[in-house]
């Protein structure tokens, strides 16, 4: 057999050739702000796989805007890989022909436009991923040629500090840095000494100081004044009928007013039930301001975060026993590792959805909206690789045997009619039509019905893990579906049987009186109250300030 004669460093040689071409513009690893467009044109080949950092909050906004300014004759047909499509220029580059194909995880604010561009043929869709899935593919079959990321600071040697909002930056950079991809970083400022080093200079190729700080959104802040009494009732049912019943110690909360209500009920209603120290001790979630009262009253022992939250920086620095904080006082978030924690290390995921079918399958992808689903499928399923036990995990096993295992609690908490005044429970998910219209190989389901253990509405709780057939699962969902078409199929004798067997529980079955669900039960009823709870350390963004 003749051994093939070939170069084993072609990608590395090509990278060095490109970097040599921009060497006259370089001062060490730095380029002048005004040179960034010509540098992008020199370093990005047509058809290249390009990762543009744009996660839930932190955006490489300077680089995304400058990518739109490149000459489409020089840079075109890029394969863009983005965890979150959230800015107009993220899609403008497709309309300009600079980009052609997209793999992503979430695009909430741009979901209508993405769906329309796919229909028009302006954008070719690769796949909709979970965050971990997308990160994983960066090391397998979507290895990036170029990554465009953001950091807070660089020192003069090119080391990076990412601060509270480290998020996915190290994962993206590593995928390129160790496979001869090109790493381009925008920074807010250049300093002599960093508070800490988050990414070493040897992983970085080009650094540019942005003309303004990267964009950062407060996406996980919910103003308590908007929490309704219906949501308080649902929160009470969750605490007593799920958290307390199963002894949930570790968990992830989705974002929304429903879960914000739970967070604000822990120090009040949870205290009344005697559950302090018995539930909700360890968390995987962003630093929700509505958790401040629970932290201050000793309910919360630890929080590991996907990313930061605007205004929570000083509070986090002052609570290192709870948050993951460096010696410099700033939090170290990590989207990839927190997703792993949310998948394998927590007892429970509780989130929400836009649609759920009669089998319990749910999706946030609806007609005309290709929003994706971020990390919910990672956390909202039972990871069959889990091998450590907890009381809550074992409680989901209705028929123990010598080889049986437990199960993660996967909870969907929804009001029977959504904000659009349409029923959440539907016979068939819109996602089925979206699949066909978008050319996807599989229907974009967020959480599959057979992974669900509980569904909670304003009507009550369906303990789906207790059901033994699809027909019984549908009956349980119908019993808590109110006056939706599914709910109107419910029969009184079936509901009575389900309640007797503990498969469905209404507030009365849990010993909860609906008249108890008053706003006075919330530990904080406004953003101002949260500031007070924090001893003035929480500094909410201006849009949340209603006081002088």
**Which stretches within 346-409 are classed as H helix?**
376-379, 391-395
- Measured CA to CA, the distance from residue 391 to residue 406 in angstroms comes to 9
The tokens for 64 are: 């995304």
For residue 421, the model assigns a pLDDT of 86
Q: What digits encode the pLDDT tens for the residues 2-33?
A: 777 889 999 999 999 999 999 999 999 999 99
Those residues with Cβ within 8 angstroms of residue 155's Cβ, 6 or more apart along the chain or in another chain? 161, 190, 191, 192, 193, 194
Q: What digits encode the pLDDT tens for the residues 376-397?
A: 999 999 999 999 999 999 999 9
The pLDDT confidence band at residue 373, using thresholds 50, 70 and 90, is: confident
For residue 546, the model assigns a pLDDT of 77
The pLDDT confidence band at residue 252, using thresholds 50, 70 and 90, is: very high
Q: What digits encode the pLDDT tens for the residues 483-521?
A: 999 999 999 999 999 999 999 999 999 999 999 999 999
Contact 177, 216 (CB under 8 A): no
Block residue for tokens 């605007």: 310
For residue 97, the model assigns a pLDDT of 97
- Measured CA to CA, the distance from residue 447 to residue 461 in angstroms comes to 18
Contact 77, 99 (CB under 8 A): yes
Which whole number is the average pLDDT over 322-331? 95
Instruction: Kindly give the pairing relationship between strand 160-161 and strand 146-155.
Output: antiparallel
Among residues 170, 137, 159, 145, which one has the least CA distance to residue 53? 170
- Alpha-carbon torsion (350, 354, 355, 361), positive or negative: negative
For residue 437, the model assigns a pLDDT of 83
Angular region, 407: left φ>0, alpha ψ -120 to 50, beta rest: beta
pLDDT for 463 beyond 90: yes
Which residue(s) pair with 148 in the sheet? Answer: 52, 184
Contact 373, 105 (CB under 8 A): yes
Which residue(s) pair with 372 in the sheet? Answer: 106
- Alpha-carbon torsion (460, 464, 465, 468), positive or negative: positive
- Measured CA to CA, the distance from residue 127 to residue 139 in angstroms comes to 16
- Measured CA to CA, the distance from residue 443 to residue 134 in angstroms comes to 17
pLDDT for 548 beyond 70: no
The tokens for 356 are: 């759920």
Neighbours of 136 (CB within 10 A): 16
The b-or-e profile of 350-382 (16+ CB within 10 A means b, else e) is bbbbbbbbbebbbbbbbeebbbbbbbbbbbbbb
The b-or-e profile of 414-426 (16+ CB within 10 A means b, else e) is bbbbeeeeebbbb
The pLDDT confidence band at residue 438, using thresholds 50, 70 and 90, is: confident
Contact 338, 403 (CB under 8 A): no
Which range, of 33-42, 251-260, 290-299, averages the lowest pLDDT? 251-260
For residue 218, the model assigns a pLDDT of 87
The tokens for 451 are: 């992974």
Q: What digits encode the pLDDT tens for the residues 163-206?
A: 999 999 999 999 999 999 999 999 999 999 999 999 999 999 99
Contact 332, 198 (CB under 8 A): yes
- Averaged pLDDT score across all residues of the chain: 95
For residue 425, the model assigns a pLDDT of 97
- Alpha-carbon torsion (241, 242, 243, 246), positive or negative: positive
Which whole number is the average pLDDT over 236-248? 98
């Amino acid at each position: 057999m003749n051994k093939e004669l070939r170069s084993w460093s072609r990608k590395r040689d090509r990278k060095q050739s490109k970097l040599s071409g921009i060497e006259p513009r370089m001062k060490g690893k730095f380029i002048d702000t005004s040179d960034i467009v010509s540098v992008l044109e020199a370093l990005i080949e047509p058809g290249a796989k390009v990762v543009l950092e744009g996660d839930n909050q932190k955006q490489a906004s300077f680089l995304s805007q400058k990518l739109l300014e490149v000459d489409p004759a020089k840079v075109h047909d890029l394969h863009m890989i983005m965890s979150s499509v959230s800015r107009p220029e993220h899609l403008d580059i497709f309309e300009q022909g600079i980009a052609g194909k997209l793999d992503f995880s979430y695009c909430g604010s741009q979901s209508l436009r993405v769906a329309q561009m796919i229909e028009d043929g302006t954008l070719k869709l690769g796949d909709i991923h979970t965050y971990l899935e997308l990160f994983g593919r960066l090391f397998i079959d979507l290895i990036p040629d170029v990554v465009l990321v953001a950091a807070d600071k660089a020192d003069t040697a090119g080391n990076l500090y990412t601060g509270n909002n480290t998020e996915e930056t190290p994962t993206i950079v590593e995928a390129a840095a160790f496979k001869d991809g090109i790493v381009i970083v925008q920074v807010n400022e250049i300093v002599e000494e960093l508070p800490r080093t988050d990414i070493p200079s040897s992983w970085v190729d080009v650094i540019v100081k942005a003309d303004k700080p990267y964009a950062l959104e407060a996406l996980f802040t919910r103003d308590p004044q908007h929490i309704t009494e219906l949501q308080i009732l649902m929160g009470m049912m969750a605490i007593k009928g799920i958290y307390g019943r199963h002894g949930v110690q570790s968990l992830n909360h989705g974002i929304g007013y429903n879960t914000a209500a739970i967070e604000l009920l822990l120090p009040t209603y949870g205290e009344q039930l005697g559950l302090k120290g018995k539930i909700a001790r360890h968390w995987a979630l962003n630093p929700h301001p509505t958790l401040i009262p629970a932290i201050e009253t000793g309910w919360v022992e630890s929080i590991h975060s996907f990313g930061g939250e605007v205004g929570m920086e000083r509070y986090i620095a002052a609570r290192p026993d709870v948050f993951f904080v460096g010696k410099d006082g700033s939090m170290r978030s990590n989207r990839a590792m927190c997703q792993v924690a949310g998948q394998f290390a927590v007892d429970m995921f509780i989130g929400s959805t836009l649609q759920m079918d009669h089998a319990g399958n749910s999706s946030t992808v609806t007609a005309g909206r290709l929003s994706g689903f971020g990390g919910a499928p990672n956390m909202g399923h039972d990871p069959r690789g889990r091998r450590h036990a907890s009381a809550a995990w074992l409680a989901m096993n209705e028929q123990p045997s010598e080889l049986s295992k437990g199960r993660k609690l996967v909870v969907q908490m929804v009001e029977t009619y959504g904000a659009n005044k349409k029923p959440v429970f539907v016979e068939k998910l819109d996602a089925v039509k979206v699949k066909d219209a978008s050319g996807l190989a599989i229907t974009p389901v967020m959480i599959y019905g057979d992974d669900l253990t509980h569904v909670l509405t304003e009507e009550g709780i369906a303990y789906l893990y207790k059901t033994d057939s699809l027909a019984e699962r549908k009956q349980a969902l119908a019993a808590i579906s109110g006056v939706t078409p599914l709910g109107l199929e419910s029969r009184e004798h079936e509901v009575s049987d389900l309640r007797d067997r503990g498969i469905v529980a209404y507030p009365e079955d849990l010993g909860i009186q609906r008249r108890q669900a008053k706003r006075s039960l919330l530990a904080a009823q406004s953003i101002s109250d949260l500031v007070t709870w924090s001893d003035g350390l929480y500094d909410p963004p201006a849009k949340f300030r209603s006081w002088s």
